Structure 1
Amino acid sequence: MRNYFYILCLSLLVFFQNEKLKAENDKPNIIVIVADDLGNADVGYHNQGTEIPTPNIDKLAAAGVSFTSGYVMAPVCGPSRAALLTGRYQQSFGFVDNPGPFRVSP
């Protein structure tokens, strides 16, 4: 009877140790939200007073990490988006400007 108790304790110890190792090896969940022309006062979690309530974004920001200083290497949107999506500098794949020509106002 005593041997069964030791085997049970050893089995439980091995089982819970394995679960602990699984939890340590889990990859984090990362969500990147990108918006064009989003100012600091446009969302509620910056506490700068917004005219449009953003309760869901506020909850998400409160539960995670908010990076407030994101900068891009190009002053136009096309190369900036391409760099974000590929994780590379836009100069490295030759996309340094928006393709033109742009529409001219009448």
Structure 2
Amino acid sequence: MQQLNPNDLAAWLADDSRAKPVLLDVRESWEIAQCQLPGITHIPMNEIPVRQQELDPDAPTVVICHHGMRSYQVAMFLERNNGFAQLFNLAGGVAAWADQVDPAFPRY
């Protein structure tokens, strides 16, 4: 797993020459209702073990949460137990996205 800062994710999403990553948001539903990046796949952290088959282990996947800790734990789980090879943790989560990329992004 690699750490990915918000500015690098923004550049990746804007780069039409690169395949877009899966944006796996592992926050709770109430958090998603507050704010979310466009095009996310939402699977709450506690549902990952039973829903991991919904994810493609060969696809580049950026795991997202509020501050980057839950996403780090999920990425470690997927990497260790399921052979995901292209995992990225969004360092600082959506809070860092709001700080570094989009000041208008809702905060909670």
State the TM-score, normalizing by the size of structure 1.
Answer: 0.25
Higher radius of gyration, 1 or 2: 1
Q: Which has the higher helix share?
A: 1
Q: Which has the higher strand share?
A: 2
